[in-house]
Amino acid sequence: MEYDLDRKLLLEEFLDEYPDAAVTGAGAKTLGTLNYGSDKVEVTKLFAEFLISKIDATDLL
């Protein structure tokens, strides 16, 4: 399956909802490593659950 979800918008929404939460396992609040060519990034459980909830919501549309 393919989903049309914008990572920048999702990141902004996540940080609005959880302003003190880290996004990556290294404690960052950005996904900047993807901008520099990295194809993998370890995300926190909270951010992963947030993304999964967005994917599940998309499935309902």
User: Domain locations in the chain?
Assistant: 7-59
Q: Name the residue type at position 38.
A: S
pTM, 2 dp: 0.82
Summarize the confidence of residues 27-52 as an average pLDDT.
89
**Highest-scoring range by mean pLDDT, 1-10, 26-35, 52-61:** 26-35
In this prediction, residue 12 carries a pLDDT of 95
44's tokens: 């926190």
What letter would DSSP give residue 44?
P
Q: What is the largest CA-CA distance in the chain?
A: 34
Average confidence score pLDDT of the chain: 88
